[in-house]
Amino acid sequence: MDIPDIIISRLPRYLHILEYLSRQGIQTTSSQEMGVLLGLSSAQIRKDLSQFGEFGKQGTGYEIPFLIQQLRNILKVNQTWKIALVGAGDLGHAIARYQGFENRGFYIAAVFDKDPEKIGRSIGTLRIEDIKTLAPRIREEGIRIAMLTVPAAEAQAVTNDLVVAGIQAILNYAPVVLKVPTGVLVKDIDPINSLQHMTYYVGK
């Protein structure tokens, strides 16, 4: 059965709030409590989770540790995923230094750039590598996910190289629509689009 992508997109939010509750020492919760915290209806949460099995008990709700483990299994973050970061500019530096990836199932295994002045320099424990070595390094490390923080004019060419190297999912920060073959996922992160979306609602 194919699960609608809109449901998949909500699962990380459920996992995040459950992990938050767990850190507070709470062992059980309900779809109603989760709904209040997430701004969603309890019926929506129950319907989403029921796509993957029966995880709750009527009258007692959900056991948080159990549901966390089930969601990690569903999202495949019960393992650690290596990430290739392409683009070592200001944004790339900030992402490479971000400490929140590893405890959520991800870590940056390699950083690439084409600028000779950046190649060989370090960002924390990572050394910036020549983008010319991208394909063999990705294959060597078995990386399947990439983050793209290159200028828009370079994004498609780099994407083509990533696909050839075996990358299956790309988180794209470049303000351009990428063309990829079927089977490769692209998620666009464009703060300008998000800001322009919000300004529609902001009063003068």
Q: Which of 14, 1, 104 is nearest to 67 (CA)?
A: 14
Q: Which domains does the chain have, with CATH numbers?
A: 5-74 (1.10.10.10), 81-193 (3.40.50.720)
Residue 26 is encoded by which pair of tokens? 């709470």
Distances from the Cα of 109 to the Cαs of 80, 98, 124, in angstroms? 11, 13, 12
Average the pLDDT over 102-121 and give the result: 93
Average the pLDDT over 92-112 and give the result: 91
Residue 119: the pLDDT is: 96
Of 33-37, 69-73, 131-135, 193-197, the poorest mean pLDDT is in: 193-197
Q: Are 64 and 18 in contact (CB under 8 A)?
A: yes
Residue 46: the pLDDT is: 92
Residue 193: the pLDDT is: 85
Q: Is the pLDDT of residue 195 over 70?
A: yes
pTM attached to this predicted model? 0.87
pLDDT (tens digit per residue) in 43-95:
999 999 999 988 877 767 899 999 999 999 999 999 899 999 999 999 999 99
Residue 104: the pLDDT is: 85
CA distance 196 to 46: 33
Residue 57: the pLDDT is: 72
Residue 1: the pLDDT is: 59
Residue 94: the pLDDT is: 94
Residue 91 neighbours by CB under 8 Å, 6+ apart: 149, 173
